[in-house]
Amino acid sequence: MKVLILGGTGAMGEYLVNLLSKDNIDIFVTSRAEKISQGNIHYLRGDAHDLTFLNDILNEFWDVIVDFMNYNTLEFENRIDLLLKSTSQYVFLSSSRVYAGLNKIITEESPRLLDICTDKDFLSTDEYSLSKARQENILKISNFNNWTIIRPYITYSKNRLQLGVFEKEDWLFRALNGKTIILSNEI
């Protein structure tokens, strides 16, 4: 089995690579940095946002593609057919942030923010929660059915220390420079 992991050196991807490496699976991971392949883990140097690089690696057929990339909506729309026709199964990492904050337990049937929000200014943006929901819509109307959407609720890693919606680089910079960090009551 051959698995391609786009964005596999990030916060969640490295853990998946480690888990898959214990099985007899050939794992190919895109990375902008030079990395040394080891055993059944092979690194493909390039930026998965670069359509030329992506076209090159998708000339091959993959059993599974797991996509950890953070695209804007147009970027995703311009490559989804290429991704879906290059694999038996495409796994799209969305986010639980697509759901509307209704102070209820989140289920698959919970409304998404994109579907119930009436704020025209907000809806005119491609903010993360909206772009992920729009990308889910693009998958759903595609001519393919070989995809799975995963909406993680909490993500973490040894290289990531998140404080609410702030990554460590943001809140640490603000703290070291005497700037205010605004957090919601829930946090």
Residue-level pLDDT at 153: 80
pLDDT at 165 over 90: no
- pLDDT tens, position by position, 67-122: 999 999 999 999 999 999 999 999 999 999 999 977 888 888 999 999 999 999 99
Instruction: Specify the pTM.
Output: 0.85
- pLDDT tens, position by position, 8-63: 888 788 889 999 999 889 999 999 999 999 999 999 999 999 999 999 999 999 99
* Rounded distance between C-alpha atoms, residue 90 and residue 61, angstroms: 12
| HSE-up (13 A, CA, CB side) for residue 177 | 8
Q: Which residue type is seen at 187? A: I
Q: Compute φ and ψ for 30, nearest 5 degrees.
A: -80, 140
Which of 84, 122, 80, 78 is closest to 100 using CA atoms?
122
- pLDDT tens, position by position, 117-140: 999 999 999 999 999 999 999 999
